[in-house]
Amino acid sequence: REERLRKEEEEQKRQKLWAAEAKARKMEAFLKEREKEVLQLQEEAKTFITLENLDARIEECLDNPRNYNFAIDKEGRIVKRTMLS
């Protein structure tokens, strides 16, 4: 009986250890994913319009106008484009 209890206890310890390792791996993967997301957001933040670069961005848009008013047929060709005013 004592030997069976000892084996069950060892098995429980192994299960707890395995669960702790799995939890640690899961947490590490979660942290890596969040770190990757933060780096991506920092990269995207470089193109944000702020008060410091507002005038430059307005000038850039005025110098390079874009016209998004057009139609596309089923083959993906531009069918109709309006003039910029």
pLDDT (tens, 9 = 90+) of the chain, 85 residues, equals 899 999 999 999 999 999 999 999 999 999 999 999 999 999 999 889 999 999 999 999 999 988 888 888 899 888 876 665 4
C-alpha distance from residue 35 to each of 3, 29, 45 (Å) = 48, 10, 15
Domains of the chain, residue spans? 1-81
Q: State the pLDDT at residue 85.
A: 47
Q: What is the DSSP string of 50-64?
A: -TTTHHHHHHHHHHS
